[in-house]
Each structure stands twice: as C-alpha cells, then as structure tokens.
Structure 1
Amino acid sequence: MSFVTGNLRTVLRLEGLSILLLSALIFHQYSADWILFAWLFLVPDLAFLGYVFNSKFGAILYNTTHSMIGPALLLASGLLSDADLAISMALICFAHIGFDRALGYGLKYGSGFTDTHLGKIGSKRDT
C-alpha cells in the first residue's frame, strides 16, 4: 500500500483547508445558523463506531460519511429544490471533510484506521 507523501500531501491538506474555509464562508453568506453548524459539524465522525465491529466495516462507514460525493449530491438537490436545510447540511459536511483533510485525516483503507489516502496518521506515521 502506498500513501501520498511530501509536497503533494501538503497540497492536498491545503486543499482541505480551502474547502473548510470556503464552505464556512458560503454558509455564513447563505445561512449563518451557527448553532446548527456547531451541532452538526462532528456528526460525520459518528462513523467511527463502525470500527467497533472491524476495520473493513469501519472504513466503509467512515468513507461513506467522509467522501464529497454525498454532500455534492445533497447540495445539488438543495439548490434545485430550493431546500435551505439541505444546502446548509451539505455545506456543513463539506466543512467537516475539509477540516479532517487539513488535519491529514483522509479516506480510510480497510487495513486499519491509521491507514488513509493522505498517509498514515498517529504517532508512527510516515513523513
């Protein structure tokens, strides 16, 4: 298994930071219900509970809640149907994903929680 390293890893983490900041800015301009933002920001991390069963199931559940596909579809649906709550939730999901990626938490491999597409996380990570 290979991981992204070096300058490319830094670029991907900066992209995550950009997604976080842009999502928060658009959320502020569009909705600004920061109580909703605070309550829902960490909801995708409930997927960690999948790791109670095993690494493969945990990775599938985590990746389902941390891929940008779901929020993109939710945002498109919200925009097409003028559903403010869907738009807000999509922006919160994008912000959460950007936050995680900026910290180096990428999509997970089934081999274990610390193995991500952005590299190993934790105390024994690759540099």
Structure 2
Amino acid sequence: MASWKHPPRLRIRIVFGDDEMIGPGKADLLERIDRCGSIAAAGREMRMSYKRAWELIGTLNAMFRGPLVESTRGGPGGGGAVLTDLGREVLSLYRAFEADATEGGAARLAALQSLLGDIPGEK
C-alpha cells in the first residue's frame, strides 16, 4: 500500500465555454475578496498580481447575468470590493458542488489511492 502523506482531493473546474469557467483559483479569489474587502489584498494573499486578479474578476463579472464583485475606486478613504448577492450565490453553489463530488467520489478516490506506488525514499 502506498504511503502518501496527504489524502487525495479534487480540484474541480466547471467549463461553460471556451473562456468561461470557474475553478478553485477563482473561487479562492472570491472568498478572499469577501474576507479582505479588496481585490488587491486578495490577490496579494494568493501571490497574484493586481492585474491578474482584476482580469479574473472581469471574466467572472462578464460570465454571469450580473457582476459577482463590485468595487469602489481608491481615494482618501481607499477603495474596496465586495461580493454581490449573485457572487455569494455562485461561490456557494461552486463549493457545494465540490463537496458533493468529493463525497460521491470518495470510494473511487480511495481505490485510486490504493493503486499508487510508494513515495521514493519512504519505503
């Protein structure tokens, strides 16, 4: 039996079209924006450039029927960003889908893990 240190986990990307998808990175970005109140701060936490974080939010905002994130410009009081109700709903549905897939696929993940070889140097 393999001696892997970490249990297997799913990383799910849902593809709606060529440039329309949501996956773990975008979901993590949305969660961090919700917590930090800032696209820049969320991007920094993920070691992502401010430009890249804005590009991802732009893509998400264009994909759905309304924006997932609303931002205010900086200034004396500073700018900020918040998830919209739609943003919270999309994030919640994505995380629920992840949980459902993990639960439903647990037996197959365990079977795949049992077929793995040993980690080199830990035999």
Q: Is the TM-score greater than 0.5?
A: no
Larger radius of gyration between Structure 1 and Structure 2 = 2
Larger RCO: Structure 1 or Structure 2 (Cα < 8 Å, ≥ 6 residues apart)?
Answer: 1
TM-score by length of 1: 0.28
Q: Which has the higher strand share?
A: 2
Q: Which has the higher helix share?
A: 1
